[in-house]
Amino acid sequence: MIRPRPASAIPRGRLRLLAVVLGLGFLVVGGQLAYLQILSGERLAALSDRNRLRLRPIAAPRGILFDRAGLPLADNRPAFTLVVVPREVPDLGALVDRLAALLQTPASELRDRLARVSADSPWPIRLSRGLTLEEVARIEEWRLELPGVTIEVEPQRAYPGVRFAAHVLGYVREASDQDLARSGLRRGDLVGQSGLERLHDEHLRGRDGGEQVEVDAYGRMIRILDRREPVPGAHMWTTIDRRIQQAVEDALGARAGAVVVMDPRNGDVLALTSHPAFPVERFSRPLDRETWLGLVQDPTRPLLNRAVQGLYPPGSLFKIVLAAAALQSQITTPFDRLPCPRQWVFGGRPYHNWEDHDRGALTLHEALQFSCNTYFYQLGLKLGPEKIVQMAEAFGLGRGTDSGLTGERGGLVPSPAWKREALKDKWHPGDTVSLSIGQGLITVTPLQMARMMAAVANGGTLWKPRLVTRVASADGRLVHEEAPRIQGRVEMAPVIFEFLREALGAVVAEGTGKQARVPGVSVGGKTGTAQTHEFKSDADRKRRDQDHAWFAGFAPLDEPQVVVVVFAERAGLGGQVAAPIAREVLKAVFLEKVARAELAR
């Protein structure tokens, strides 16, 4: 049974080869040991004596955010950071109290930052960022009594204004526990938390470098043993126009609301604002409890980006959708007329126009121009909910724009099917009546309205709102590029678009949007006033100061280059509040034309 193999079958040579290779490996290790322990032994023993090595992280500068002309929207400037190496501190508790006194911050805040770190950690911990010169001077004065404390100069985010473009740019914060679990981050690293800072955070962040430094007993540097240069973050070129953004924020002023300026030819977002905004720069330093609660509990909700997170009824802006649906389905033609009474009774309930007098029978053109509610109630009923919903969806309403901005919401275009599903309720004709003037359950975001208005202006192309054109590393290599992208197309006869543009031109020229007129530039647009509450009495109905004011328009009329959507929260009538804001924005956009026209006059 046992078959001893012939001696020739034993691969002696090959086994010997393996043994030699492995033996050589052990020899090399032995050589390295001799080098370390005998040749360099004394030097290394001296180093270990009182382990006199320090680690100094070198923070990578975060990539710069540029506007479309190359002006910086978010830049870096050097700032002082207070750093502590816990291992070198004999008494951490005493040190924290001392530093708290010197910096005049609550000791609990500093203690929190050391809470998750072991007391003999050799890693430098950032205790406080953005120290003032006085604070630095005070620390330096007590230097000798603060072992283990150093002040490093690190790049910190700098912005053109305290709240400038806050909701677009977003903010950076020190990595939270969740961030740390997610990826190769270290405690104290800055991470983009919202807006564009978050969208391409991975590229913007860069990679930190570091130094291993040998120091003497007093902590003074003797020499650098090893140094890795930080890799700066990639720069980002945005579509924002800093000048227009500034004009938009000036125009909106202190009102709560949002403004979006978009190029209808490619979807570029030239400006986007939401007010009230938060102080961007304040966020890169650790927030104390009060500041945080103040921002979160603020009833004006400064953290809400109203342009993409705010859901509001579109009000009369929605009449554009009705007009398009009616013409496309040939329910009406530009020549047909419907009455526009002061009051219109349906299902035993009176529905009112916003005006107090009867305008007689109007064409669709005139109905848009005067924004006649009673006309559109009747038109809506003739169309039926399906056709209205279909057209609204074609224009991208109730559907997110994929802008990449944090927390963008979709909104809702209610349909009979949706109501049956979600509310377990029948669709009533009254629902159609409300929907016809953009009221009821329908909600949209200002950015969606901009996308829709751009489609009206450009003949039906639904562009993805583009905020970023490219991201390129500091040495010029392209990391990310974004071409304009079409999200959909509204299939309608060109004459219908032509009709809509013409009618919207009339709205501004001699209708409800007169306040949006700009000298030297032809403007088209639509006003909207969205009810936010039920009317209890006739007098109540006249109080419009709690309504949302809308204006969505484009210019120039014949060859639209820019779309402006203004939303003012609980501010009053669209024509009186929102249209003038749009006018100011358009004046800034067409600065030269306006100036020339005013000179000629």
Partner 1 sequence: MFRVDRRLLVQFDWQLLGLAGCLIVAGLVTVSTLVPRLGARQLVALGIATVGAMVILAVDYRTLARWACWGYGFGLMVLLAVLLVGRSALGARRWIAVGPVSLQPSELFKLAFIGTLAVYLASRESSRPGWDRVIVPLALTLPAVALIVKQPDLGTALTLLPVAVALIIVGGARWRHLAMLAGCGLAVLPVFWFLLRDYQRERILVYIDPSRDPLGSAWNVIQAKITIGSGQLGGKGLFGGTQSRLAFLPERHTDFVFAAYAESWGFLGAAALLVVYALLVLRGFEVATTARDTLGTLLATGATVLLAAQALVNLGMVTGLLPVVGIPLPFVSYGGSALLTAVGAVALIANVRMRRFA
Of 18 and 422, nearer to partner 1 (C-beta) is 18
Token pair listed for 111: 């203690």
Query: Where in 203-232 is the site for partner 1 (CB under 8 A)?
Result: 208-212, 225-228
Q: How far is the CB of 222 from partner 1 (least distance, A)?
A: 15
Helix (H) or strand (E) holding 450, with range, is helix 446-458
Smallest distance, Å, CB 44 to partner 1?
A: 3
- Map the footprint of partner 1 across residues 180-199, applying CB under 8 A: 186
State the amino acid at position 174 in one-letter form: E
Query: H/E element holding 350?
Result: strand 349-352
Neighbours of 147 (CB within 10 A): 15
- Cα–Cα distance between 81 and 188 in angstroms, integer? 11
The least distance separating partner 1 from the CB of residue 15, rounded to whole angstroms, comes to 5
Closer CB to partner 1, residue 137 or residue 222? Answer: 222
Smallest separation, CB 47 to partner 1 (Å): 5
Residue 78, phi then psi, degrees to nearest 5: -70, 140
Q: What is the dihedral of CA 535, 537, 538, 540, to 10 degrees?
A: -60
The one-letter code for the residue type at 596 is R
Q: Which stretch binds partner 1 (CB under 8 A): 43-51, 291-299, 552-560, 589-597?
A: 43-51
Neighbours of 308 (CB within 10 A): 27
Structure tokens at 561: 């280059």
Interaction between residue 558 and partner 1 (CB under 8 A): no
Q: How many CA atoms lie within 13 A of 189 on its CB side?
A: 25
Binding residue for partner 1, selected from 1, 6, 43, 70, defined by CB under 8 A: 43
Beta strand residue intervals within 159-234, DSSP E? 172-174, 190-192, 209-215, 221-228
Q: By CB under 8 A, how many residues form the interface with partner 1? A: 56
**CB 33 to partner 1: min, Å:** 5
Least Cβ distance, residue 6 to partner 1 (angstroms): 11
- Between the two ends of the chain, the Cα-to-Cα distance in Å is 117
Measured from the CB atom, the residue of 221 and 422 that comes closer to partner 1 is 221
| CA 473 – CA 235 distance, rounded (Å) | 6
Mark residue 408 as left, alpha or beta (left: phi above 0; alpha: psi -120 to 50; beta: remaining).
Answer: beta
Rounded to whole angstroms, the Cα distance separating 363 from 359 reads 11
Q: Which of residues 107-136 bind partner 1 (CB under 8 A)?
A: 120, 122-123
Q: Is the peptide bond before 385 cis (omega within 30 degrees of 0)?
A: no
Residues 413 and 397: beta-carbon distance below 8 Å: yes
Q: Considering only 28-36, 91-99, 415-423, 484-492, which stretch makes contact with partner 1 by CB under 8 A?
A: 28-36
Judged by CB under 8 A, does residue 37 bind partner 1?
yes
Asked if 527 and 579 count as a contact pair (C-beta separation under 8 A), the reply is: yes
Q: Is 17 in the site for partner 1 (CB under 8 A)?
A: yes
Pattern of binders to partner 1 over 389-428, x per CB under 8 A?
----------------------------------------
- CA 194 to centroid of chain Cα atoms: 6
CB of 76 to partner 1, least distance (A): 21
Minimum distance between the CB of residue 528 and partner 1, rounded to whole angstroms? Answer: 46
- Residue where the block lists tokens 């509040």: 577
Q: Kindly give, in sequence order, each residue whose CB lies less than 8 Å from that of residue 496, ignoring residues fewer than 6 positions away.
A: 324, 327, 328
Q: Name, in order, each residue with C-beta under 8 angstroms of 155's C-beta and a sequence gap of 6 or more.
A: 59, 60, 61, 62, 76, 77, 78, 79
Q: For partner 1, which residue of 32, 108, 132, 333 counts as binding (CB under 8 A)?
A: 32
For partner 1, which is the closer residue by CB, 188 or 553? 188
> Nearest approach, Cβ of 48 to partner 1 (angstroms)?
4
Would you give the binding string for partner 1 spanning residues 433-472, x where CB under 8 A is met?
----------------------------------------
| Binding residue (CB under 8 A) for partner 1 from 19, 119, 296, 591 | 19
Site for partner 1 in 472-531 (CB under 8 A): 477, 479
For the CB of residue 386, give the shortest distance to partner 1 in the complex, in Å: 47
Shortest gap between Cβ of 158 and partner 1 (angstroms)?
Answer: 26
Interface pick for partner 1 out of 6, 8, 14, 476 (rule CB under 8 A) = 14
Binding positions for partner 1, rule: CB under 8 A: 2-5, 9-12, 14-19, 22-23, 25-26, 28-30, 32-34, 36-38, 40-45, 47-49, 51, 53, 55, 57, 120, 122-123, 186, 202, 208-212, 225-228, 477, 479
